[in-house]
Chains A and B, each alone.
Chain A
Amino acid sequence: MNKILLNDEEKEALLNTGKYEFSKDGNYSLEFENFQKDIFLIVSKNTHVTLNLLGKNTDLSIHIHIKENAELTFHHLLIEGNFHLIVDLDGIGATFTFNYSVLSSQSSLHQIIVKHHMPKTYSYLKNHGFSRNHANVLLDISSYIEKNSDQCISKQDNQIIENDTSMSQIQPNLYIDNYDTEASHSAYLGEFKESDLFYLMSRGLSEEDSKFLLLKSFLIGHFELNDSNQERYYHEIIKYFNKEV
């Protein structure tokens, strides 16, 4: 079941050619299951787009170009699979905000590359991984700022929570060839914080329920979804863990 909340023409174009250009402001939702595809997207000049992508058992490779003063906010929840993303910030003032979460019970690779080709471009990547059944999750995150790209802002916040011991890794890379730049990255790999668990359990929640609430928060708490998408994504997480609502 591949659900694409674009109109029929747009849907056909994306599925057939793997290409789509966002030329109107809007909120777009995509769902893929058991799907592999190379997808090429463009966000046109001065266009503001929010893209919500729910993937289940997918291996997607997405290449996005963001043009001058265009803005893309991309929320992606991946339940099992691999993901490869390249984003080219092609125009002055191009903005990219990426909120990514992956649930993985098998070894998987998640490679995100953002290239600041122009001045005054912005990227903020929040990548969250949850590893279970000893799965090795690799977050390989790279941000590039080129020599002539002045006054860029590039931020990364990468976290992996391990449910069991694993050899998961975070590779946060900042390749900066410009002095007039603001850049930062953070990485956390480990379990849920004991203080958070203690707080929830001190209100009577079981350890299992407390961890589940924290997991929900970890996976979609940083997404800015409308109520129906929030419920949709939460429902998929519950289904994945075979939990009763």
Chain B
Amino acid sequence: MDFTIDHIYAKSKDDKEILKDFSLHILPGEIHVIMGPNGTGKSTLSKVIMGSKDYVVTKGDMFIDHESILSLNTTERSRKKIFLAMQSPISIEGVTNSEFLRTALSSQLEKNVGIYEFMKEMEKSMNDLNMNSNMMHRSINQGFSGGERKKNEILQMKILKPKFLILDELDSGLDVDSLKIVCDNINQYISENPDTSILIITHYTRILDYIKPKYVHIMIDGKIMKTGAFSLAKEIEEKGFSCVNEVSEASTHE
């Protein structure tokens, strides 16, 4: 999927401008990473892409396969196959994982998904993620550990089959073994769906040991300040964000 952000400005409900002239272009099958210090607007970016009502886009546009998505609500963006694996997935008591996911899949496919085929796929996906199959009958994320919640996000990804995947701080809350399992599943998904575009938002390079990006962008104060190859992430890891003093205009490959 081709995804473009074109000179976006976005502010929060309390009128604070967070994204400032932000641009990005991800071609089908490309993996991009956004790194940056706390409070620089990385998670805001993911929510703005997903159409959160907490933010208002005041200028600029966003495109999926050259079609503007700015006027679409969150549901419609999801049905355009954008998926956000959230940093802090919520829990909902009394709604089971299977009920929620089957409803979501039926909504996306605009047809009622048969329970047998759904359960079969869910069981297989949970097995791939080394999740206990009784979790499908438990309330959404209720009593789940941080790692289980992250695995549950990737379970949803596997079932809903997005074409543009945003991973917001996926590695937080995951131990080494779980991170490997989750990343193996994402890599498997990419190999089966090679046109899938991915945007990884992270503080650390740990996840990049498993999922190799084509571009690394450094985001500071609401805009991309520097773009480079994977080696840029390693440089940030060694020297910190303070080494970013070279201002490049948005993404260099734009």
Contact = CB atoms under 8 A, between A and B. Distances in A.
Contacts, number: 77
Interface stretch (B34-42, B70-78, B127-135, B233-241): B70-78
Contacts of B105: 204
A156 to B, nearest CB: 18
Interface string A214-243: 101110111100000000000000000000
A201 B95 contact: no
Nearest to B77: A202
Contact of A207 (B75, B100, B101): B75
Interface residues of B, number: 31
A202 B84 contact: yes
B75 A204 contact: yes
A218 B93 CA distance: 8
Contacts of A206: 75, 107
Interface string A193-211: 0111011111111110110
A213 interface: yes
Given A209-B103, A209-B107, A221-B139, A202 B93 contact: no
Interface string A164-206: 0000000000000000000000000000001110111111111
Interface residues of A, number: 24
B166 to A, nearest CB: 10
A204 B107 contact: yes
Given A199-B90, A204-B78, A216 B73 contact: no
Contact of B107 (A198, A199, A205, A218): A205
A199 B160 contact: no
Interface of B is mostly: helix
A221 B101 CA distance: 17
Contact of B103 (A205, A214, A218): A205
B193 interface: no
Contacts of B94: 216-218, 220-223
B74 A201 contact: yes
| Residue among A205, A207, A218, A223 facing the most chain B CB atoms (10 A cut-off) | A205
A205 B160 CA distance: 12
Contact of A203 (B54, B73, B78): B78
24 contacts: A194-B54, A198-B52, A199-B86, A200-B92, A200-B100, A201-B73, A201-B74, A201-B78, A202-B77, A203-B78, A203-B100, A203-B156, A204-B75, A204-B79, A204-B108, A205-B103, A206-B75, A206-B107, A209-B107, A213-B103, A214-B95, A218-B94, A221-B139, A223-B94
Given A201-B75, A204-B105, 15 more contacts: A200-B100, A202-B74, A202-B78, A202-B83, A202-B84, A203-B160, A204-B75, A204-B104, A205-B75, A213-B95, A213-B103, A220-B94, A221-B93, A221-B95, A222-B93
Lowest 6 CB-CB distances: which A-B pairs, in order?
Answer: A221-B94, A221-B93, A201-B74, A217-B94, A203-B104, A204-B108
